[in-house]
Structure 1
Amino acid sequence: MLIEIWSDIMCPFCYIGKHHFESALRSVDFANEIEVQYKSYQLNPEYHFIPGETVFSMLRKSKGMPEAQVHEMTAHVVEMAKHVGLTIDFQTNIPANTFLAHCLIHFAATQGKGTAMKEHLFEAHFVEGKNIEDVDTLVDLAVSVGFDASQAREALSDERYAYEVKQDLQEARQIGIRGVPFFLFDRKYAVSGAQPTAAFVEVLEKSFGEWKSKNPSIQHLNEQDGGASCGPDGCSI
């Protein structure tokens, strides 16, 4: 069963929600029958890195919030992250455009490392205070996940991955996604936000149960006493 997740690297609730969802997935006995596909979303596609800009000054300007409210809000997010075992450091966090980071995730996904790349980007952004709009930084992050530097640099300028990111963004608009994280289960059930693990377990069990009833596993009957057949090693007589 396919689960599609729209999220943005600069979204702390996407980071927290990812871990709530993964905790739920580990708790069910059908996890090996679930395919997870991460899709791109940009909270602020027009924003670009400004030297010296902090998340506090960015929020003051973009949200029109007083400084005290900004610090109160970010402190609440930090506490939410701690409950999941995550660290978010807004003191060192660098606001940045995430388009290239999404391109890197799409590239990594072609090698089966999309989830690992996404997690590494979250850590770089929220824990290590790295500028995830900077190409050299992104290449270094790709290398740390196991990619060749030249291969990663080429991917960041490859129109194929840029096109895939744009397709995700367009699909989000068509579906009507207005906030992330946004989880779509089997194109049937949607969950918005960093819901508790128990909520994800409930939707997982419901959606998978319905999907499984329409996609039953192949049952091998009388396998031990099967009739004559032929295979790669020849024919049974």
Structure 2
Amino acid sequence: MEKMKIEIWSDIMCPFCYIGKRRLEAALADFPHREAVDVEWKSFLLNPEMKTDPNQSIAEYLADTKGWTLEQAQEAGDHMAEMGRSEGLEYDFDKVVVANGRIAHRLLQYAKFTGKGDEMKERLFKAYFTEGANIADAETLIGLAKEVGLDEAAATASLDSKDYDNRVNQDIYESQQLGVRGVPFFVLDEKLGISGAQPRETFTQALNQAWEEFSKSKPGIQTITGADGAACDVDGNC
């Protein structure tokens, strides 16, 4: 059976991406054609040059990079945590480790290859935002990979794989071609785009619209934007 594809550009360390995942899942749960939909996670790096520093808190990092006071950074984290709770998510920003996520994206690319991309993405989100895992640490990532049923040897090899790194870069290149400046960014059936963690109702509307157009050729991507479509952008704004 031919399936309608949903591609999602996302970074593991983007809190709105986790919220967007939950809102899409809620819409899909009531979508009558759910079994005919494939979800594919695409790599996006909000800060490719980020230096891993387990000794620095995320509040300190945000204060340094954004010019905020430490209190402002902590208040932003508290606000985000409240938003997460409304979607059933637990954000613990006191535990979050400042880490470059590129090798975690390589692991995600391998997980996609095995058909476990969604499970791996979910586990990475929880590990990063709730458990305070260092997503730049190979041993930590292999432990997470084993939890979702990935082969340990192959997962280990993926962390240094040029092929999977090229796939990360390909996803980033594709996002640039689409003009994506912030994540999450969803593309349904290669025709309809949703920018940001829109409300569940927006996803429901988009699913119905995309399904109606499924298998039809339509050039370009119509992007749904709005004040409620919160996102993280490449300039470091969340």
Normalized against structure 2, the TM-score is what?
Answer: 0.87
Q: What residue is the counterpart of 2:51 in the other structure?
A: 48
1:5 to 4, 8, 12: 8
Contact kept? 2:95, 2:132, Cα under 8 Å: yes
Matched, 1:194 2:202: no
Unaligned runs of 5+ in 2: 218-238
Secondary structure of 2:190's aligned partner: coil
The code of the aligned residue for 1:206 comes to Q
**How far apart, CA to CA, are the structure 1 residues paired with 2:170 and 2:103?**
14
Q: What residue is the counterpart of 1:77 in the other structure?
A: 80
Greater alpha carbon shift after TM alignment, 55-64 vs 141-150 = 141-150
Paired residues in the alignment total 214
Unaligned runs of 5+ in 1: 216-237
Structure 2 counterparts to residues 59-78 of structure 1, below 5 A: 59-78=62-81
Q: What residue is the counterpart of 2:99 in the other structure?
A: 96
**How far apart, CA to CA, are the structure 2 residues paired with 1:56 and 1:71?**
6
Matched, 1:165 2:165: no
Q: What residue is the counterpart of 1:203 in the other structure?
A: 206
Matched, 1:136 2:111: no
The code of the aligned residue for 1:104 comes to L
1:154 to 153, 157, 160: 157
Greater alpha carbon shift after TM alignment, 144-153 vs 51-60 = 144-153
Contact kept? 1:60, 1:70, Cα under 8 Å: yes
Contact kept? 2:50, 2:100, Cα under 8 Å: yes
Q: What residue is the counterpart of 2:41 in the other structure?
A: 38
Shift of 1:118: 0.5
Structure 1 residue runs of 4 or more that deviate by more than 6 Å after TM superposition:
none
Matched, 1:177 2:175: no
Shift of 1:68: 2.2
**How far apart, CA to CA, are the structure 2 residues paired with 1:202 and 1:123?**
28
How big is the alpha-carbon RMSD for the aligned residues of Structure 1 and Structure 2?
1.2
Contact kept? 2:54, 2:134, Cα under 8 Å: no
**How far apart, CA to CA, are the structure 2 residues paired with 1:126 and 1:15?**
9
**How far apart, CA to CA, are the structure 1 residues paired with 2:153 and 2:35?**
33
The structure number with the bigger radius of gyration is 1
| Greater strand share, structure number | 2
Q: Identity over the aligned pairs, expressed in percent?
A: 44
